Amino acid sequence: MKINWGTAIVIAFVAFISFIMYFVISMSTDKKFDHDLVTEDYYQQELKYQDDINKVENAKKLNQNIEFKKTNEGIILSFPKDLNTNNIKGKVFLYRPSNKQLDFEMPISLSNHNLLIPDNSLLDGRWNIKIDWSYKADEFMFKKEFNY
């Protein structure tokens, strides 16, 4: 049986379309390739992004910014020593890019200038930390990516 060139082109197109359809269907139904957005309210967060930039710039103007140290007990965040701890308010948000069920948020409550994030709250791997805090009327933000 001989196949002419017109039949060969049709067979090649059908094979190519079949491959593409198989690829699209397998990628869209396989849970291994299911990825979520970073946050559920992505667009609202995007509208507030300029405020975050301003807060980061305010933090750079401080004499001393937040210091980040990894210890055996967990992570110690040291706030500037020249600020009164009673006037520091805000929250710490830890984001795990690989698993959103591990994300958590905690309020800032200081008795001295240090805040401890306990070791049992963190699993090994990559984390993003975002500290959104204020001192009196000024607002600041600290962001860092780290491996624990």
| Contact predicate 95/103, CB 8 Å | yes
pLDDT at 36: 61
More confident: 41 or 92: 92
Which of the four pLDDT bands, split at 50, 70 and 90, describes residue 52? confident
Q: Is the pTM of this model over 0.85?
A: no
Sheet holding 88-95, edge to edge: 104-107, 88-95, 126-135, 138-147
Distance CA 54, CA 61 (A): 11
Please state, for a pLDDT cut of 90, what percent of the chain lies above it. 20
Helix (H, G, I), strand (E, B) or coil at 81: coil
Question: Which pLDDT band, with edges at 50, 70 and 90, does 10 fall under?
Answer: very high
Question: For 114-143, what is each residue's pLDDT tens digit?
Answer: 888 888 888 888 888 999 989 888 899 998
CATH number for the domain running over 42-147 = 2.60.40
pLDDT tens per residue across span 11-49: 999 999 999 999 999 888 877 766 666 667 777 877 888
144 or 34: which leads in pLDDT: 144
Residue 127's pLDDT is 87
Q: Please check the confidence at residue 73 and state whether its pLDDT lies above 80.
A: yes
Q: What is the mean pLDDT of residues 77-102?
A: 86
> In this predicted structure, what is the pLDDT of residue 132?
92
